[in-house]
Chain A
């Protein structure tokens, strides 16, 4: 799977125990302003933000959650990345440098 990273300017925050992604103003035409995340998606977002790749996500989920079946973990990670890609909150890793400039 290609490597994806979190889009600069998208911030994960928590409000009343609910995880929320908020996109800064200059991303108005790129991704939704606000999206709520469940706990496991927020966990994966934090790991991706810290620089984890898919293998790193897999290991983090294995360490954090009580899931025995590796296929279930892989599917959950793929679903998360697909959803975040669809919302344009993730970008290919090679674009990160261009966005930072």
Chain B
């Protein structure tokens, strides 16, 4: 009998059938056995071989499967117009804040700087792969997954989205607001999915529309130093004050 497990993302259950028994331990804080034999996601051997080429040579079978499940989960979430957005996400003041950029740009550096400069002020939701889920009240809920980047920092916290920063490395620290039209191309690449059907494309576009409507976006060109983190903090504090004051800032 097929063993099926499920993980809930913002109240939406995704059911997994694993190729390798140990993979469920990679999900250990999030997973529970599911009833029945039906599942939404199962990795196939050819995908494992493809995934293995993108990971360190000594990666175990279950780890390769675990990583292959990221885009498959992102795709499964599209049925609720939700998706995984490649970013560091943390909670401050009851809202979630996203710092997004291609890998290696310094997302986690900003988190570590912040924790060192202002200890205990923020808590990571997911260091790498939070889920964004539209809510009935018009907000977007940011919630954690077990994929938390190489530093493996995350929590089971979730919070409504407050704002987004697109990070770029630069020789100087500068902060500037971004228009939605300038976010569309970079953000498509930050969603961990390549839609396969017209319905999936429209679901992703709907989520992008909500994201860009709900949350202001800024670009932080930065050196990764303490000053850049203070700039980021000042921005989010200002936005938080606007949210708490009932204005959308």
Contacts and interface: CB of A to CB of B under 8 A. Distances in A.
A16 B198 CA distance: 19
A14 B208 CA distance: 10
Given A15-B184, A36-B181, A36-B184, A20 B194 contact: no
B201 interface: yes
A17 B194 CA distance: 22
B197 A16 contact: no
A83 B208 CA distance: 26
Given A28-B194, A33-B194, A34-B188, A15 B180 contact: yes
Given A15-B212, A16-B209, A24 B197 contact: yes
A18 B205 CA distance: 11
A13 interface: yes
B49 to A, nearest CB: 18
Interface in B176-219: 180-181, 184-185, 188-189, 194-198, 200-202, 204-205, 208-209, 212-213
B188 A13 contact: no
Interface residues of A, number: 16
A26 interface: yes
Contact of B196 (A14, A16, A26): A26
Given A15-B180, A15-B184, A36-B181, A25 B202 contact: no
A93 interface: no
B196 A18 contact: no
A24 B197 CA distance: 6
B201 A22 contact: yes
Nearest to A9: B198
Contacts of A73: none
Which of B194, B198, B201: most chain A CB closer than 10 A?
B201
A22 B197 CA distance: 10
B201 A11 contact: yes
Interface of B: 180-181, 184-185, 188-189, 194-198, 200-202, 204-205, 208-209, 212-213
19 contacts: A11-B198, A11-B202, A15-B205, A15-B209, A16-B180, A16-B181, A16-B184, A16-B212, A17-B180, A18-B181, A22-B195, A22-B205, A24-B198, A24-B201, A25-B194, A26-B196, A34-B184, A34-B188, A36-B184
Interface of A: 11, 13-18, 20, 22, 24-26, 28, 33-34, 36
